[in-house]
A and B are shown apart, each in its own frame.
Chain A
């Protein structure tokens, strides 16, 4: 993807031309990279994007382009394991050190940095990804055990430019502040939808001795089932609201309001 010239939408072009003219050439030739993203965040924080809302929204939905990551040199690895698996439907063949976790493989070898390393000990949920349909912790999964499996990360949830309904609901309800736990929260919540549909029980489920049937999750159920995803900013009420909206498809009022 590095060889293709990046096409910007007219709105994106206007934003760069006006606010970061010195970067325009670079973006057109080498793509929208992480440095540009950080600059954009700076402008957003300074409140300078107000009249460029559409362009900014399109840019935020754009995948940041990465340099291709070179393969490891087999002779340099003591315990190398070659793993064939799918990441966001793309077949991958990577040589990893046997100690490498799925999280580090995604971030450092495949260039998908959406999944976050929070605690690296299975206590925070920031690294949550969906493997063969189930939400799991990528920090406690060895990449070597992923042979033949299919992994979905936060980068794989949107279809082209259309956000997954859970992503859209998190935006609407402000289900984050700093955003570090958000990829894990959203992957977890997406898998939760399937679990609820299948009628899986939780510790909060009343009468679990009855047959499993599809359930609409109460706030108590959502809190219990999302307890493996810690939000240090405490955006929990908004996360719960987002999940309710995504599950029911019905409008749930936002917990916050703009005031004069």
Chain B
């Protein structure tokens, strides 16, 4: 690792004051991704501000839903009785990610800030616009089996790795952020961004901003929700494709469907076409299949990931059927 100055802070204001003084400083939460990137010389902060002592760890019911402290651990979040009962798709998604040890360390805020696991991003001998803007994308013509099928550009075909965030996207969460000037709430759909002109940026957070909480509104599909994850190993592997789905039902009729996909784009991919197709339709196998077709028709596969189109359809259908059965 590159040498860095280390300090531990005790309140958010102190953390923000410190980070504003140095554009090469980084906050350290659980460290499960940042430390790994620092060892590989992909992340090169010269100052680490340890925010592990901040009291942003509370998970509490609010008038509109639930608030997840940015520094509450993933394990604690997944196992909180209110979340298991009212937001089980979030528990399921968190538990689908990483290992028990990593979930014990990883924080909720940090989970959202995970960088892509694109192997060219990790390999500093390779060009990568995300790591080194302007150097090119080695994955575009390289081994891109794991990469995006939606929303990519010729500058970046990486996918976003979090499972937790896929459920939060389907749950219409928002991210509460504090800076020296203000507190702002970023709707989940605007938090992570597509590569566009700046693939080096994964999200709309600015330097000097600290995530304090994730707000999740109440939903009426807790019982009829599902998280399906397809991966190369049965456990402890990143998604090839994943789907978080929630169905608001009136008998057998779908009032609304909330669906987000992981492993397919640079951000949690909200399946808006599938959602639109399912609105006010009967919850039948035929309609689930048509909704999946509608979404995946827009996919643009790369040389090695055409399989994700069929896999995406099947994952969507599986998630919708599981959600409809209501056995989470």
Which residues of B lie under 8 Å from residue A135 when comparing CB positions?
A: 100-101, 104
Instruction: Fill in one digit per residue for A216-239: 1 if any B CB lies within 8 Å of its CB, else 0.
Output: 000000011111110000000000
Q: Is B325 an interface residue (CB 8 A)?
A: no
Whether A140 and B8, one on each chain, are in contact in the complex, defined by CB atoms closer than 8 angstroms, is no
Interface size, chain A (Cβ < 8 Å): 46
The segment from B88-96, B123-131, B286-294 found at the interface with A is B88-96
Checking B3, B8, B223 against A147 with a beta-carbon cut-off of 8 angstroms, the contacting residue is: B8
The segment from A12-20, A63-71, A195-203, A244-252 found at the interface with B is A195-203
Which residues of B lie under 8 Å from residue A223 when comparing CB positions?
A: 234-235
Interface size, chain B (Cβ < 8 Å): 41
Complex-state Cα separation, A120 to B222, whole angstroms: 39
With known contacts A136-B105, A137-B102, A207-B327, A212–B81 Cβ distance under 8 A: yes
Whether B236 and A228, one on each chain, are in contact in the complex, defined by CB atoms closer than 8 angstroms, is yes
Whether B101 and A145, one on each chain, are in contact in the complex, defined by CB atoms closer than 8 angstroms, is no
Which residues of A lie under 8 Å from residue B79 when comparing CB positions?
A: 198-201, 212
The segment from B32-40, B200-208, B250-258, B269-277 found at the interface with A is B32-40
Whether B105 and A228, one on each chain, are in contact in the complex, defined by CB atoms closer than 8 angstroms, is no
Whether A145 and B102, one on each chain, are in contact in the complex, defined by CB atoms closer than 8 angstroms, is no
With known contacts A98-B5, A145-B8, A227-B99, A134–B92 Cβ distance under 8 A: no
Which residues of B lie under 8 Å from residue A202 when comparing CB positions?
A: 95, 100
Instruction: Fill in one digit per residue for B306-326: 1 if any A CB lies within 8 Å of its CB, else 0.
Output: 000000000000000000000
Of chain A, the residue at the smallest CB distance from B87 is A209
Q: Is A181 an interface residue (CB 8 A)?
A: no
Which residues of B lie under 8 Å from residue A3 when comparing CB positions?
A: none
Point out residues on B near A: beta carbons under 8 Å: 1, 3-6, 8, 28, 31-32, 35-36, 39, 48, 50, 52, 75, 78-79, 81, 84-85, 88, 91-92, 95-96, 98-102, 104-105, 222-223, 233-236, 327-328
Question: Could you list 15 further interchain pairs (A-B, Cβ under 8 angstroms) beyond the known A98-B48, A225-B100, A227-B236?
Answer: A79-B4, A136-B104, A137-B102, A141-B31, A145-B8, A145-B31, A145-B50, A147-B8, A201-B78, A207-B327, A209-B222, A226-B100, A227-B100, A227-B233, A228-B236
Point out residues on A near B: beta carbons under 8 Å: 78-79, 81, 97-99, 101, 120-122, 125, 128, 134-137, 140-142, 144-145, 147, 188, 191-192, 195, 198-203, 205, 207-212, 223-229
